[in-house]
Structure 1
Amino acid sequence: MTTMNRRDALRLLGLSTFGVAALAACAPDATGGAATGDAAAKTFGFTSWSLNEAAQKAAVQAIVDAYAATNKVKIATASFPYNEYLNQVVLKLRGNQLTGAVQVDVAWLGALAAMGKLRDLGAQASAGGYTDVALSSGKFDGRQLGLPWTTGSIGLIANTELLTKAGVDGMPTTIDEFEAALGKVAKLGGGVVPYAAATKAAQLKDIFPWMQTFGSPLLSGDQVTIGDEPSVAAVEWYKKLYDAKLIAPDVDRFDARALFSQGKAAFYDDAIIARGVVASQSPDKALVQKMAPLSRPVLKAGDTPQALLWGHVIAVVEGEGADAAAEFARFATSDTATVADFFQKVQLPPTTTAGLADPKVAGDSFTTEWTEKITKTATANPFWRYAADAQIESAVAEQVQAVLVGNSSAKDALAKAAEAVEGLQK
């Protein structure tokens, strides 16, 4: 198994402060511009941040080399560190200096799509055998602008050993059951945090799936719904957990990972890479066997569990070699032997039905449970369509934190948050 350090985890979660700032600073240009070069050329480029990372470089280069040799094409690779990647891609697209296939974080697709330079890969998507949720990660305004390379989600993880010690019988499926489970865990004492939820402003966008759980869509068309009754109820519930010390102050994703890795948290939110992170951090080498992904508890039985989509796609820029680049993107993301081998090397789940069913993947119970319980119903953050997404998330997070520390009511804080979000919509 490939383990990942703090920087790797930050990279894969798409939380780079430089990167999200670039998304707003390099606001997309909708004018596009005519594609240049011969689309039928057998030479094309492949730009990827994974080629810049030790954990994935060899596995990705092997895919590139195998495809080039088999199909008698030339692939010129380029890479940038993740923290600089979005800025570099935007600048090169604007200057017509980038063609071919491009690795894209799902959170960035809308911003790059608005530049008008990406090819619709609908034909390749229809032949790829991708899951519906995976295909959704590469769609923008009804067009398939990216083929899903890995599709996961951010959801809840439980420490089953702590739950057993606390007398929690089975995984909670509703909000009421979840709150009751947290209460039982709290009685363990010993510094155990029942739910290592995000409470620092930097990570408080984790409140979004809870708002959706309570019934707020967050965004309806272009109408901001933050501040509606369900979102207010969600924040009031979060505040109740905070006041009851069922969640802790000043916790972000890294703090939560540390608490969980030390056996001091019964639940926390993370992406599927959590297993590798915990394996590398925990003094208890058996802890990974005690980790269990669970569907986010729902408000009432029968509701759809909420989770945030996570992953990356391969997009294709119109211009030189675009036809061959599109076929490469399809191969890299949907050839069963290729995606199963990639999973074995880097532990990132494939995006096709056949890939997920391959014994190399299906035999990994953690991945299959995660896919079925969390990723299956994951959806994109609706604010990803805006260039100011990072500022939108910050505006909401700051107001939610004001509620937690007692400086504002949930209703007043979310009204301010909605006003700030509306000012950032462009």
Structure 2
Amino acid sequence: MTTAYSRRRMLQFLGAAGLGAAGLAACAPAPKETEPLAADDPKANEKTFSFASWTLNEEAGKPVVQGLLDTITTKDGLTVNPVSYPYNEYLNQLTLQVRGDKLVGAAQLDIAWLGALAALGKLRDLGDAAKDGGYTSTALESGQYEGKQLGLPWTTGAIGLVTNKELLSRAGITEFPETIEDFEAALVELKGLGGGVVPYAASTKVAQLKDILFWMKTFGCTLLDGDRVTIGDDASVEAVTWYKKLYDQKLIAPDVDRFDARALFGQGRAAIYDDAIVGKGAVIKDSPDKQLADKLDPVARPVLKSGDDPQAQLWGHVIVVVEGEAANTATSFARWLTSDQAATDEFFAKLALPPTTEKGLASDAVANDPFTKAFSERITKTASQNPFWRFPEYAQMETVIAEQVQAVLIGSSSPADAMTTAGEQVQALVK
């Protein structure tokens, strides 16, 4: 319970909202996701199943998803019986439902939870359903676990760097730096703006210090090699040493988490910060600068040396299907919801959640949204999963690492000692 609630709080920082579950019905198991059930299909009578979705419990998202459900259920003669849970209870409730064979159908899942639910051994391999769906390779990766395609990607993004173009311009930065060395130099220029501007509102509170993991990857630490934790190697020590230098030079600020970073950025007091693509809405909504939306620019994370792939953590939602009665119908529903052009266009237009197919990303709707287009091309394209997500104890692992990084920042431990300790403690949690 402690681990689950800790993770939920972290997900709230990334823009996740309350979850709900609904007894919902689905569409055809025919090859084309928009075709109705064939009359001779042995599963043609299985038209009622559950669909768990946190978006159905959100004020903004519920009417959008309900509208999609109404569209497909009306077309295929399905029955919808909505049931919802408060967000903080969702993952536990979903786990209980699946474990007890009480959830028949499909469920929306945060990609960070896939390993935990997969461990129950009741999710369908959707590899065949994913074929010819037009999904991007990055989106497909978000739904993979131990070599199986256990989720069809519904929306795929990443956690990456977002900048205020106006502040960068005022500091004389016309192109965002490609390398760590040039990035550090740019932060120094931004500090020179004065006025209390934080050059980079990086995470420095334990709750969000897991962001350091992808800086470690930038420096060459793999984090995990098979079941061997590699934190404690030279690359991880070098990354944390560099982070400490930024901290000491006041290029990043103390006691900052995702909420703080959004607030600083929205107020025009931070030039760069880390966020998921959905963070844009929260930043703009609370900002006194009504022109801020035009100043936002997502950028690729700087690399250690030119030519390296920029690092970013995948973020997104997938649809999973529980094996059992109506699984065939639920599978076709999952494919329709995640890959049908009209369905994904509506989802993006009303919630600004990026589609997961090549066709969806090439649509006029995305092309006419510079922020989403740039985020997808510069950040999501090279994003990857947090390798610790495959362990049930991943939230504890992230906390262990964060606490040791914070110890370095406040000067109570050296980078080498802290990373050695973090690696040993995380290794002890690997099962």
Query: What's the TM-score, normalizing by structure 1?
Result: 0.91
Residue 303 of structure 1 aligns with an amino acid whose one-letter code is D
**1:43 equivalenced with 2:44 (yes/no):** no
Partner of 1:230: 235
| 1:71-150 correspondence runs (5 A) | 71-150=76-155
User: Where do 4+ consecutive residues of structure 1 move more than 4 Å?
Assistant: 7-10, 14-18
Partner of 1:260: 265
Partner of 1:13: 14
| 1:22-421 correspondence runs (5 A) | 41-421=46-426
Q: Distance in 2 between matches of 1:257 and 1:149?
A: 25
Matched pairs, number: 401
Q: Which runs of 5+ in 1 are unaligned?
A: 1-6, 19-37
Q: Distance in 2 between matches of 1:47 and 1:246?
A: 43
Task: Check the 8 A contact 1:92/1:98 in 2, yes or no.
Answer: yes
Query: Post-superposition shift, 1:260?
Result: 0.3
Partner of 1:24: none
Task: Check the 8 A contact 1:166/1:184 in 2, yes or no.
Answer: yes
Task: Check the 8 A contact 2:18/2:58 in 1, yes or no.
Answer: no
SS at match of 1:397: helix
**1:424 equivalenced with 2:429 (yes/no):** yes
Q: Distance in 1 between matches of 2:17 and 2:68?
A: 27
SS at match of 1:311: strand
Q: Distance in 1 between matches of 2:134 and 2:224?
A: 30
TM-align CA RMSD:
1.9
Q: Distance in 2 between matches of 1:47 and 1:407?
A: 45
Q: Distance in 1 between matches of 2:172 and 2:141?
A: 39
Query: Post-superposition shift, 1:12?
Result: 7.6
Q: Distance in 2 between matches of 1:352 and 1:55?
A: 23
SS at match of 1:74: coil
Partner of 1:4: none
SS at match of 2:56: helix
Query: Post-superposition shift, 1:425?
Result: 1.3
SS at match of 1:194: strand
Query: Post-superposition shift, 1:8?
Result: 11
Task: Check the 8 A contact 1:48/1:78 in 2, yes or no.
Answer: no
Residue 242 of structure 2 aligns with an amino acid whose one-letter code is W
Q: Distance in 2 between matches of 1:39 and 1:414?
A: 54
Q: Distance in 2 between matches of 1:42 and 1:122?
A: 22
| Aligned-residue identity in percent | 60
Change (3 A) 1:340 1:381: same
Q: Distance in 1 between matches of 2:400 and 2:129?
A: 38
Task: Check the 8 A contact 1:152/1:272 in 2, yes or no.
Answer: yes
Change (3 A) 1:90 1:102: same
Query: Post-superposition shift, 1:79?
Result: 2.6
Query: Post-superposition shift, 1:92?
Result: 1.1
Task: Check the 8 A contact 1:99/1:320 in 2, yes or no.
Answer: yes
Q: Which runs of 5+ in 2 are unaligned?
A: 1-7, 20-41
Query: Post-superposition shift, 1:124?
Result: 1.1
Q: What's the CA shift string for 1:350-380, capped at 9, x where partnerless?
A: 0001111111122111100000000000000
Residue 54 of structure 2 aligns with an amino acid whose one-letter code is W
SS at match of 1:158: strand
User: Please, which moves more after superposition, 204-213 or 74-83?
Assistant: 74-83
Task: Check the 8 A contact 2:191/2:199 in 1, yes or no.
Answer: yes
Task: Check the 8 A contact 1:104/1:313 in 2, yes or no.
Answer: yes
Q: Distance in 2 between matches of 1:309 and 1:67?
A: 29
Q: Distance in 2 between matches of 1:196 and 1:394?
A: 20
Query: Post-superposition shift, 1:169?
Result: 2.8
Q: Distance in 1 between matches of 2:18 and 2:252?
A: 25
Q: What's the CA shift string for 1:320-376, capped at 9, x where partnerless?
A: 211100000000000011101110100100000111111112211110000000000
Query: Post-superposition shift, 1:39?
Result: 6.3
Q: What's the CA shift string for 1:242-261, capped at 9, x where partnerless?
A: 00000001110100000000
Change (3 A) 1:150 1:17: closer
Q: Distance in 2 between matches of 1:200 and 1:308?
A: 18
Q: Distance in 1 between matches of 2:279 and 2:417?
A: 35
